[in-house]
Amino acid sequence: MADYFTHFSCLLDVGTPQNAARALDIYTGLSEEGVSEEPPSDGFLLSIQPEHGGTNLWMRDDVTGDPERLIQFVKRCAVEFGLTGRWGFQYANTCSKPRLNGFGGGAHVLDLATGETVDWTYTDGWLAELFSGDGERT
């Protein structure tokens, strides 16, 4: 049997060390919500990184992570701390054994001021589109 994983590692600058500390409470609340879901969210790990001035949150998977949960967290932080600009991350989907369609990934960019997605890509959908003839490039 194969195991499937989603990996990511990214930073979010929340402006001040005080905001970073408050972000931990937001994270705890979101994590509690994820546990009550069926099936429970894989979530992600969060820590404050002193080597980045204490204002950056390091978000990453622990064995496997949930990119959607990460996006929800970043949006909540953006509203809470009045963040602006663009933020994005990329992720990799992997498999413990060689499997067709067992590998891929994507990227997602948010406008922090509005919470809207600027753009995103998912390699599995991109590849399928190109082979279906709908995504022919000139």
1 C-beta neighbours (distance < 10 Å), count: 4
Task: Report the C-alpha gap between 126 and 131 in whole angstroms.
Answer: 9
pLDDT at residue 138 tops 50: no
Structural domain contains residue 68:
yes
pLDDT band at 101 (very low <50, low <70, confident <90, very high): confident
Strand partners, 58: 11, 47
Structural domain contains residue 138:
no
Instruction: List the CATH number of the domain containing 34.
Output: 3.30.70
Structural domain for 26, as ranges: 4-132
Structural domain contains residue 39:
yes
Structural domain contains residue 24:
yes
Structural domain contains residue 137:
no
pLDDT one-digit tens code per residue, 50-64: 888 899 999 999 899
| Overall domain count for the chain | 1
Structural domain contains residue 107:
yes
pLDDT one-digit tens code per residue, 7-52: 999 999 999 999 999 999 999 998 888 777 777 778 899 999 888 8
From start to end of 9-125, where are the E strands? Answer: 9-13, 45-48, 56-60, 86-95, 104-111, 117-122
Structural domain contains residue 100:
yes
Structural domain contains residue 8:
yes
Question: pTM (2 decimals)?
Answer: 0.88
From start to end of the chain, where are the E strands? Answer: 4-7, 9-13, 45-48, 56-60, 86-95, 104-111, 117-122
